Amino acid sequence: MVQLGEFSLWIALLMAAWCATLTMQGAVMRRAALTASGARGLYAALFFLLLASLGLAIAFVTDDFSLRYVALHSGKNVELLYKLCAFWSDTAGELLLASFLVALMGSVTSRVVLRADTDRRRAAWTVAVIGLILAGLIAGTAFGANPFMHLPRAQGDGRGLDPMLRNTAMFAQIPLMLLGAAGAAAACALAAGGAIRQSFDGALFLRLRSAATESWGFLSASGLIAAHWAYVSPGLRAILLKNPAVVASMAAWTILSLFLVGVELAHTMRAPQSEADVMRRRAGRVLAGVGVALCVAAAAVHSRTKNYDVQLGDGEQYSATDAWGHDWSFTSQGASRLERPGDDVISLGLIASRDGVRQPFISTESRQYYTGGGLDVFPAQTVPAVRSSVSQDLLIILSDAGEGRAVLRISFIPLVELDWAGGVLLALGAVLLFWPPKIGSVA
C-alpha cells in the first residue's frame, strides 16, 4: 500500500497538470469536451491523492521506518492517535494533506460551476486555476518534500513524535487549518475565473461569498484550537509561528475577514432579504454581540492577573493572593524523578488551599527526552498544572527543580473561560452573519 501511495502521488501530479492544461485549452478554444476532460483529471487527481494519503497513513500505523518521514516523526512507543497526527506534523505531510484537501474542495467547486455557471468559459477558467494551484502543491510535495523518500537502510525504531505536538488538539487543528486554506484556494479560483473573463455577476458573487465564509469558519475554528493549545503548552507558540502553513493561514484569515466584513457593510445598506435570512442574520448579530461583550469583559479584568515567581524547598509553604483577593497557600510535597524509556520526568507535587479550604492536589512536570545513546532528541518540555474555573485559571509552571528546592511560577488569570466562550460565540455569530442568502430566496 505504501508503494501504491508513492506511485499515486506521481499519477496525481500528472492528472492535475492534465486538468490545468486541458481546461485552459477548453476555455481558450471554447470546446466543452476539453473542459470536461480537464475536470475529470481533477477528480482523478483527488482519487490518487486519497490513495497517496492512505499509503502514508498506513506507513505510520504499521511503523514502516524505511520511510525517512516516518522514522523522523514516529516511533514504536507512540500511541495510535499520535501516529496518525504525525502524518501532518511536518512540511511533507502537511503539503500532501493540503493537496488532498485542495483537490477535494476544488472538485466540489468545479462540479458546481460546470453545472450551474451560465458563462461556460468562466467556469473553465475557474477549474483551470484550481488545477494550477493543485499541480503546484503536488509538485512541491513530490519534488521538494516527498514524504515517501526512503532511507538507505531501514531503522529498527523511529525518533518519535515531538512531545510538544502530543496533544489531542493536534488531531483537529492542522487538518481544520488546511481545510480552511483549501477553501480559500477555491475562493481564489472563483475570483480569478471572474477576473480573467472580466465578468462578475450576482451568482458568482454569492458562490465566492459562500466559499470565503466556509474557509473563514474553518480557519477561525483552527485558530481558536491553536490559541487554547498554546495557552496550556508553553513554547508551542514559537513552533507554530515558525510554520509557513500557519503563517499563510493567518494571512488568508485576515484577508478573508476584511473581504467578508466589507461585503457585510455594503450588503446591509441595500438588498431586500427573505424572512429566513433576516432571522439568521439577527441570530448571528446576537451571538457575535454576546461574544464581543464576553471578550471585552475578560480583556478588561486581565490587568488583575497575578504572577508569583517562587522558590520553594521541600515541605515549605508559600502564600499568595489571587485576582479576586482570596488567600491561597501552596505546600511543596517535594520533587520526584521518574525515569522511563525515552524520557525523564521531574514532577513537583503541591497541596493547595484557598481561604483555608483544601483544594485538589496539584502537580507540574518537567520532561527531558533522550535516545538510547543518552542524546537529547527533543527540547525539554514543561507541562504546567492548570486549574480552570469560570472566575479564574490557576496556572503553575515548574521552571527548575533539584537538591530539595524547586523554582516555579504561580499565575492567577481571571475570566479566561469567558475569553474562550466569547471567541467561540463570536466565530459562530460571524459565520451566520456572513453566510450569503440562497440564490432566488431574496424577496
Partner 1 sequence: MTALAVGALLAVAAMVWVIAPVFASMDPPRDAADLETRAPSAAADDAAEAAIRKWRRTEK
Distance CA 179, CA 100 (A): 9
Which residue stretch of 46-54, 73-81, 182-190, 203-211 sits at the interface with partner 1 (rule: CB under 8 A)?
46-54
Which residue stretch of 4-12, 147-155, 162-170, 311-319 sits at the interface with partner 1 (rule: CB under 8 A)?
4-12
Q: How far is the CB of 30 from partner 1 (least distance, A)?
A: 12
Q: How far is the CB of 76 from partner 1 (least distance, A)?
A: 24
In terms of C-beta distances under 8 Å and separation of at least 24 residues, what long-range contacts does 318-323 make, across chains too?
Answer: 318/410, 320/410, 320/412, 322/354, 322/392, 322/394, 322/412, 323/392, 323/412, 323/413, 323/414
What are the CA-CA distances from residue 102 to residues 181, 253, 334, 350 (Å)?
Answer: 8, 16, 52, 49
Q: Does 7 bind partner 1 (CB under 8 A)?
A: yes
Among 28, 29, 32, 154, binds partner 1 (CB under 8 A): 32
Among 21, 27, 48, 423, binds partner 1 (CB under 8 A): 48
Give the nearer residue to partner 1 in terms of CB position, either 41 or 158: 41
Q: Which sign does the torsion angle of CA 183, 181, 177, 78 carry?
A: positive
Q: How far is the CB of 111 from partner 1 (least distance, A)?
A: 15
Q: Does 34 bind partner 1 (CB under 8 A)?
A: yes
Q: Which residues of 46-82 are buried (b: 16+ CB within 10 A; e: fewer)?
A: bebbbbbbbbbbebbeebbbebbbbbbbbbeebeeeb
Q: Does 3 bind partner 1 (CB under 8 A)?
A: yes
Q: Does 414 bind partner 1 (CB under 8 A)?
A: no
Q: Which residues of 362-383 are buried (b: 16+ CB within 10 A; e: fewer)?
A: bebbbbbbeeeeeeebbeebbb
Among 44, 219, 383, 401, binds partner 1 (CB under 8 A): 44
Q: Does 443 bind partner 1 (CB under 8 A)?
A: no
Q: Does 47 bind partner 1 (CB under 8 A)?
A: yes
Give the nearer residue to partner 1 in terms of CB position, either 6 or 277: 6
Which residue stretch of 35-43, 135-143, 210-218, 339-347 sits at the interface with partner 1 (rule: CB under 8 A)?
35-43
